[in-house]
């Protein structure tokens, strides 16, 4: 189903394809979120305060009005804003996975299989 929009109300197989596309960086027309990038970022998280401290040191060296500092601040703000949206979307997608793709009669052993896509329950509650 390349380049085909898949509704939230689509059959289970189509929703599974949509989730697979989103976790592998493929989307229909650029309107679906990249859950794969959010998963990667979760494993390679950069502390925001460290980046802000680096930009502050850069500002002390080059001055606040420097084009380098302004560009770094603009890029940093855009990245962290996007990262926060992706992290929120990742939590939503994991909950949708459980709601859409797992039937009520699926054995617990299957649900708790280590290869199943999972996000910490602490973050989804």
Contact, 18 vs 4, CB < 8 A? no
Q: What is the reported pLDDT for 122?
A: 47
Q: What is the reported pLDDT for 74?
A: 93
What is the pTM for the complete model shown?
0.51
Residue 78 gets which letter from DSSP? H
Contact, 38 vs 86, CB < 8 A? yes
Question: How far lies 72's CA from each of 33, 38, 42, 57, 84, in Å?
Answer: 25, 22, 22, 12, 18
**Domain assignments of the chain as residue spans, ordered by start:** 12-124
pLDDT in tens, 9-57: 777 777 777 777 776 666 656 656 666 666 677 667 778 888 889 999 9
């Amino acid at each position: 189903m390349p380049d085909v929009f898949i509704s939230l109300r689509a059959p289970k197989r189509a929703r599974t394809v949509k989730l697979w596309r989103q976790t592998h960086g493929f989307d229909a027309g650029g309107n679906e979120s990249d859950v794969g990038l959010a998963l990667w970022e979760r494993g390679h998280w950069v502390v925001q305060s460290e980046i802000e401290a680096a930009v502050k040191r850069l500002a002390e060296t080059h001055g606040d009005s420097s084009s380098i500092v302004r560009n770094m601040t603009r890029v940093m703000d855009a990245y962290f804003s996007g990262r926060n949206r992706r992290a929120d979307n990742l939590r939503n997608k994991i909950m949708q996975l459980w709601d859409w793709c797992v039937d009520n009669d699926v054995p617990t052993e299957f649900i708790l299989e280590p290869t199943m896509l999972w996000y910490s329950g602490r973050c989804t509650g």
